């Protein structure tokens, strides 16, 4: 899957192992692992929905965003970057057709 980043700063930090370790400390190892899983996946449906990744769609003010677990309570948050967003007949996102994402945050949103 194609993985892009919402900001240049986020791309620089998450693309450089030393910078990632400096900025995120203990989260660097799971961050590298999750980014690797996302890049290797053919589509979003291929990303595991069970731990350790636990890919899941968010709700409320983060509707249409997705997250993968890092270390509780931190998450790697991303959005679908296909244009247009692939949809099922019921209006939901068709995960098997999502081939591009954009990382928007590393955050504890709880």
Closest listed residue to residue 97, CA positions, set 108, 107, 109, 83? 83
Q: What is the CATH number of domain 2-107?
A: 3.30.2310.20
- Provide the pLDDT for residue 104: 98
pLDDT at 110 over 80: no
Closest listed residue to residue 74, CA positions, set 4, 3, 23? 23
Token duo for residue 102: 């954009």
Token duo for residue 9: 């700063």
Domain boundaries, the chain: 2-107
Sign of CA dihedral 76, 82, 84, 88: negative
pLDDT in tens, 16-57: 999 999 999 999 999 999 999 999 999 999 999 999 999 999
Q: Burial, 83: exposed, middle or buried (Cβ in 10 Å; 0-12, 13-18, 19+)? A: exposed
């Amino acid at each position: 899957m194609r993985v892009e980043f919402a900001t240049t700063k986020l791309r620089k930090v998450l693309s450089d192992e030393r910078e990632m370790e400096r900025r995120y400390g203990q989260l660097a190892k799971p961050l590298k692992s999750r980014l690797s899983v996302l890049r290797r996946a053919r589509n979003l449906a291929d990303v595991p929905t069970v731990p350790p990744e636990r890919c899941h769609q968010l709700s409320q003010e983060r509707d249409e965003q997705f997250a993968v677990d890092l270390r509780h309570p931190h998450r790697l948050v991303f959005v679908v970057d296909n244009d247009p967003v692939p949809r099922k007949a019921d209006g939901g996102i068709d995960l098997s057709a999502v081939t591009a994402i954009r990382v928007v945050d590393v955050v504890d949103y709880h």
